[in-house]
Structure 1
Amino acid sequence: MCDQHSTIHCCQEDESQEHHHEHQHSDNNNWQEYFPVMISGILLLLGIILDNLKLSFFTSEIRFIGYFITYLPVGFPVLKNAFKSIQNGDIFNEFFLMGLATIGAFGIGEYPEGVAVMLFYTIGELFQGAAVKRAKGSIKALLDVRPDKVSVKRDEKIMVVNPAKVEIGEIIQVKAGEKVALDGIQMTDFSTYNTAALTGESMPETKQKGEMILAGMINLETLVEIQVNTAFKDTKLSKILEMVQNATARKSQTQLFISKFAKIYTPIVFALAVLITFLPYFFVENYLFQDWLYRALVFLVISCPCALVVSIPLGYFGGIGAASQHGILFKGANFLDVLTQVNAVVMDKTGTLTKGNFKVQQVIIVANDAGNILEKVALLESKSSHPVAKAIVEYVNPHLIENLISEFKEISGHGLVGKIAEDEVMVGNLQLLKKYEITFPDTLATIEESHVVIAVNRKYAGFIILADEIKADAQQAITDLQKLNIKTVMLSGDKKAVVAKVAKTLNINEAFAELLPENKVEHLQKLKDQHFTVAFVGDGINDAPVIALSDVGIAMGGMGSDASIETADVVIQNDQPSKIVTAIRIAKATKSIVWQNIALAFGVKVLVLILGAGGLANMWEAVFADVGVALLAIMNAVRIQRMKF
């Protein structure tokens, strides 16, 4: 089992190991898939009618030839796959079992039952393929949201090109009704967008000039111009698609166990079938080889592990698909499993529980050249993607001449340091001033609002007060988590007074303030030492270490940094805290359905296996135990797509 927080490409396995059937359901037309079944079905019905009429021309030789021709359309593909599997060293699989059972049925003259078993098996395969396609449908639908053409302004002309050929800084045009192909900044005054492909939310969102527009959004109003600021391969949408495409490769513990179990279970069943055929010779007085061979063949048909091999991954596909419909992206089925065990949710404050839309409330500059200092502060902050930095830049609106900045560095959990012209400028929290041993007024420690402090040339120069707002659904998210008996904890680098106010408003169980990234790691480790299964929810670069340490890392994908999104196991696209609860509910529903399927498959198979070995079940019961149970499990698995969370 790979580490939960390694890159999304680890643990990729050959999908054929998980489900041998999928290659039969690629891009064939429906008539090509169903034609063999229709031919065999009609001929089988005709053969049974002729058998009952007992016509003289329907001799044993003609009867064999007729049923053999009936068998070929559905039997040949299975026998071919069995032969290929044997060549690859994979002997004991469903192809081998079905092939052996039906050939054996022909060998003892049970032609109609041999054809019927293969016919119903193939019908079951078609239903399974359709169910797998449906379960993956909501995931694959995401692949259609990325446009393959974009209109770009070049030399005062509009050219239609592939999005991958658009350079950062170029201006693209998006007409009303068109999808945005690249991330960028809106240059038009305003427009409204459908963001459902990214967030799962159907409510249109209005964007103003200067706001970020993401690939995958649909422009609903007027012609807009967007200045591209991200390469095509690095857009948020491209990263989402990469996550989703690789999600099913990371298997849950249940899937891995069933895959291993099937490889052990099938040879054992085959060995038991051999014993059922020959062992009674030594103990039964009136031993008839044909009778015991028939029982063994029934036993083989029943033992086929299709219901387990197909319905379990199908359940997880359904869970991942249902989550994507709600704007929640799981990077693997294994994280669905882990999320069901979570009993503590630890959250960052800014951007997770609060909007992160800071507004400058007050500026206090104690130095003489206040305007010049504020301009330099904003210039330095323009190098950061933090919401506070964006608020200061928006407030000051400096003349951005970035080549003036040198020796720039971002000190995680402290702030920014850089040289602008001849001045060394520092912007951050009190920890930053303490780190550089810069003296500051004691009154700074008493400010309850969120604020940043400023130092120029190692001397205290002032501070800026900003205000943030709690997200509308944060209260409901905390309440719902606590109803699920999940402990809620908030870890923040903000001031104690600010953190305490938010914690009290939201009724969070525990809250800790003025934390550096390493302090957050320490607090999370304490919870794990207390045997909590912990999910951490964050959005910033400084949250990446805690996300990596948690049992399930959850990133806010809308405002979140690339580092936190890359490190996370689950990404919430619309930044709503309430989606944490939705993700947990989807995970619990998925696990419940998977275990229902396991119980159904094992229960029915064990019962009919015993009846088959005792001669109390024939091929028709065997078909139900195999194909029927598989279909019931599939219908149960696809229910998750229609559930409300």
Structure 2
Amino acid sequence: MSNNSPTEKIHDHCCSADGVGTHGKQGHDHDHAHDHAHGDHSNSSWLQHWKLLVALVMLVALLVLAYGFNIELPKRVGLVVNAVAFLLAGWSVLRLAYRKLLLGDIFNEFVLMSVATLGAFYIGEYTEGVAVMVFYSIGEWFQESAVKRAKASIKALLDIRPDHVTVVRDGSPTRMKPSDVSVGEIIQVKVGEKVGLDGVLISNMATFNSAALTGESMPQTKSSGETVLAGMINLERVIEIKVNALFKDSKLSRILEMVQDATARKSQTQLFISRFAKVYTPIVFFLALALILLPSFIVDGYVFDEWLYRGLVFLVISCPCALVVSIPLGYFGGIGLASRNGILFKGGNFLDVMSKIDTVVMDKTGTLTKGVFKVQRVESVSIHVDEFVRVVAALERASTHPISRAIVAFAGDIDTLKATDVRELAGMGLQGVVNGKVVRAGNLKLLSQYKIDFPSELANEVNSLVAIAIDNEYAGYIVVADEVKDDARDAVENMRAQNLHTVMLSGDKQSVVDQVAKSLRIDQAYGNLLPAEKVDKVQQLKKSGKRIAFVGDGINDAPVVALADVGIAMGGLGSDATIETADVVIQNDQPSKIVTAIKIGKITRDIVWQNIILAMAVKGLVLLLGAGGVANLWEAVIADVGVALLAILNAVRIQRKNV
């Protein structure tokens, strides 16, 4: 199909709704091949637009002569001039109609337009036939422009993949394609350059702009050992990164695949309109034929040309283009708007479902909280607090437990302190020798085990508490807790404002879950849940008639994500299994984006249905007027093209929305 006209391309890409994301998964070679092919098309597209412009000028000149100066061209001259204008504007439509007929595809918009305009020439209505084809082609051109605009925000993701990366081999930098770089190699990224591959930062510190990946404009500062993702832009100094994933396995490549796959998944509304158009088009074709022929049996003084004209008006207005174009365009716009906000919908069908959600079920750790433990409170009864923390950290350094890491990070530099004879006390904590003293750190069971007295109020602590004893004497405690995400409270408040029921499920202990739920004002909260028990809770909610969106980030959330009406994954820190299972991915891990996703679903649904009602109402009215002989071809084509343009402009509004 390399010789397709712009009209054919708009039909193939728009009416089928399968043409967005024309870049395949083969990588940059394929992308460049497509760009070259696109360059070949640009000349024919430019020529077609000029032909259409000339045809429009000729049509305006004919109308000015006829109605402005009351000059009527000789019939033969008029036929030739109109025929030239007709062919300039409609050659691509006529050619595609011919191809469709050869394939046995009779009932489509191109055949309808060709029959209607050629019929107008047959009955001597040359100028009206030219007008129908010119305005129809102008409408097609607007459709093409609108679809390109809708695709642009989605395809923009492709622009954040660098064509080359700088690999440090044998001490010298070498430029090469990202797809040729192996895991474990070192890449160098200069200031202002995009990171080409996922990896771990080797340099001490770096600052990145990650807006293209997450939709978040705030720069991110990374320290040595932290993960850096392809698509981030290095902002401050030359840095080095150790690659930990192949180009095809990078998070960015997976995001692009998700977006490309999303455009091929049609919503229920799209599928309905596609089925509707297949039934609707032959029905109106035969109705037009009946309108032309049946009156010959029942109308006195039947004039074939008069009823043929009515049938042609009927055909022109019945063209389903406004529906078939604007509805996929609306979903493309919704997916594009979401991607600009750091949200990936894996299909237009999930936009539909998201608009109907009434209950949001959320995991706690990593979804509403940061999933990173931090020291919240320190109490020392025997030595100075700073020295107390350093002693405990020296002992905890021997463990890789998240609570131990939090205490070590809080203590800072403790290189001068060493713990010896460290051993783990199963289910209770750690014991070791620091500065010649026996130090024990763990839960209250540990102190009870060694008959060490401690304040009774410690048993009421909700968060994780590390009790410490030095030489068999109670010395104090450290409280460690997961932090609630900065926007979690606003996110839940916005859900309440949208009349959404909120539920939190967690494997953490019930007291911690209750505390978080109370601080965020979540409607229901359940703790101490295994993955299978989370599934049971969601099934119970579904049985009660709830439409559920489940939001999670861990691998244990994957079964619940799959079960929900819409599964949402926190994509920045979330597990690969959950991201693959989810229907929607929030790239920057912000819970506030849950409400944004729901709003985008509702915006898309509203605009799509506005277009359906507008198109059906106007077409129904003009069809009746045409059948009754009240509307003429001029009014039919203005109504058809006008409705299509209004529907397109309405669909394009989605891309300009702020949510």
TM-score (norm 1): 0.83
Per-residue Cα deviation, 1:281-337 (whole angstroms, up to 9, x for no partner): 112112110000000000000000010000111111111111111111100000000
Q: CA RMSD in A?
A: 3.2
Moved more, 488-497 or 14-23: 14-23
Match of 1:172 in 2: 187
Match of 1:402 in 2: none
Match of 1:221 in 2: 236
Within a 5 Å distance, the mapping from 1:145-160 to structure 2 comes to 145-160=160-175
Tell me, in whole angstroms, the C-alpha distance in 1 between the residues paired with 2:616 and 2:396.
70
The residue type equivalent to 2:534 in the other structure is K
Match of 1:628 in 2: 642
The residue type equivalent to 1:483 in the other structure is A
The structure 2 residue matched to 1:598, chosen from 587, 612, 619, is 612
Note the C-alpha offset of 1:16: 6.5
Listed as ranges, the gaps of 5+ residues in structure 1 are 1-13, 364-369, 382-386, 398-422, 430-439, 454-462
Match of 2:207 in 1: 192
Contact 1:376–1:425 (8 Å) recurs in 2: no
Per-residue Cα deviation, 1:583-608 (whole angstroms, up to 9, x for no partner): 11111011000011011100100000
Tell me, in whole angstroms, the C-alpha distance in 1 between the residues paired with 2:134 and 2:311.
20
Match of 1:334 in 2: 349
Question: Do the aligned partners of residues 338 and 288 (structure 1) sit closer, same or farther apart at CA in structure 2, a change above 3 Å counting?
Answer: same
The residue type equivalent to 2:190 in the other structure is K
Secondary structure, aligned partner of 1:356: strand
Secondary structure, aligned partner of 2:264: coil
Note the C-alpha offset of 1:50: 5.1
The structure 2 residue matched to 1:259, chosen from 263, 274, 290, is 274
The residue type equivalent to 1:193 in the other structure is F
Contact 2:195–2:229 (8 Å) recurs in 1: yes
Tell me, in whole angstroms, the C-alpha distance in 2 between the residues paired with 1:500 and 1:33.
66
Match of 2:321 in 1: 306
Question: Do the aligned partners of residues 332 and 508 (structure 1) sit closer, same or farther apart at CA in structure 2, a change above 3 Å counting?
Answer: same
Match of 1:100 in 2: 115
Question: Do the aligned partners of residues 148 and 25 (structure 1) sit closer, same or farther apart at CA in structure 2, a change above 3 Å counting?
Answer: closer
Note the C-alpha offset of 1:374: 6.8
Contact 1:173–1:223 (8 Å) recurs in 2: yes
Secondary structure, aligned partner of 1:315: helix
Tell me, in whole angstroms, the C-alpha distance in 1 between the residues paired with 2:634 and 2:129.
10
Question: Do the aligned partners of residues 25 and 292 (structure 1) sit closer, same or farther apart at CA in structure 2, a change above 3 Å counting?
Answer: farther
Secondary structure, aligned partner of 2:42: coil
Match of 2:16 in 1: 18
Tell me, in whole angstroms, the C-alpha distance in 1 between the residues paired with 2:271 and 2:497.
32
The structure 2 residue matched to 1:207, chosen from 216, 222, 235, is 222
The structure 2 residue matched to 1:37, chosen from 45, 49, 52, is 52
For the pair 1:518 / 2:528, whether they are aligned, the reply is no
For the pair 1:539 / 2:553, whether they are aligned, the reply is yes
Contact 1:15–1:249 (8 Å) recurs in 2: no
Tell me, in whole angstroms, the C-alpha distance in 2 between the residues paired with 1:183 and 1:394.
26
Contact 2:506–2:529 (8 Å) recurs in 1: yes
Note the C-alpha offset of 1:219: 0.7
Match of 2:632 in 1: 618
Match of 1:144 in 2: 159
Secondary structure, aligned partner of 1:469: strand
Secondary structure, aligned partner of 1:28: helix
Within a 5 Å distance, the mapping from 1:539-578 to structure 2 comes to 539-578=553-592
For the pair 1:358 / 2:373, whether they are aligned, the reply is yes
The residue type equivalent to 1:588 in the other structure is K
Contact 1:21–1:129 (8 Å) recurs in 2: no
Match of 2:99 in 1: 84
Q: Percent identity?
A: 59
Question: Do the aligned partners of residues 261 and 392 (structure 1) sit closer, same or farther apart at CA in structure 2, a change above 3 Å counting?
Answer: farther
For the pair 1:315 / 2:330, whether they are aligned, the reply is yes
The structure 2 residue matched to 1:132, chosen from 140, 147, 156, is 147
Match of 1:509 in 2: 523
Contact 1:21–1:125 (8 Å) recurs in 2: no
Match of 1:348 in 2: 363
Question: Do the aligned partners of residues 442 and 60 (structure 1) sit closer, same or farther apart at CA in structure 2, a change above 3 Å counting?
Answer: farther
Question: Do the aligned partners of residues 504 and 150 (structure 1) sit closer, same or farther apart at CA in structure 2, a change above 3 Å counting?
Answer: same
Note the C-alpha offset of 1:32: 2.5
Contact 2:168–2:187 (8 Å) recurs in 1: yes
Note the C-alpha offset of 1:468: 1.1
Note the C-alpha offset of 1:472: 1.0
Tell me, in whole angstroms, the C-alpha distance in 2 between the residues paired with 1:21 and 1:68.
34
Within a 5 Å distance, the mapping from 1:359-374 to structure 2 comes to 359=374
For the pair 1:585 / 2:599, whether they are aligned, the reply is yes
Contact 1:358–1:467 (8 Å) recurs in 2: yes
The structure 2 residue matched to 1:109, chosen from 109, 112, 124, is 124
Contact 2:502–2:524 (8 Å) recurs in 1: yes
Structure possessing the higher radius of gyration over alpha carbons:
2
Note the C-alpha offset of 1:450: 4.2
The residue type equivalent to 1:18 in the other structure is S
Contact 1:427–1:452 (8 Å) recurs in 2: no
TM-score (norm 2): 0.81
Per-residue Cα deviation, 1:388-442 (whole angstroms, up to 9, x for no partner): 7986997999xxxxxxxxxxxxxxxxxxxxxxxxx9999999xxxxxxxxxx879
Moved more, 549-558 or 479-488: 479-488
Contact 1:331–1:569 (8 Å) recurs in 2: yes
Contact 2:362–2:505 (8 Å) recurs in 1: yes
Contact 2:396–2:405 (8 Å) recurs in 1: no
Per-residue Cα deviation, 1:331-368 (whole angstroms, up to 9, x for no partner): 000000001111110000111000112247899xxxxx
Tell me, in whole angstroms, the C-alpha distance in 1 between the residues paired with 2:206 and 2:613.
53
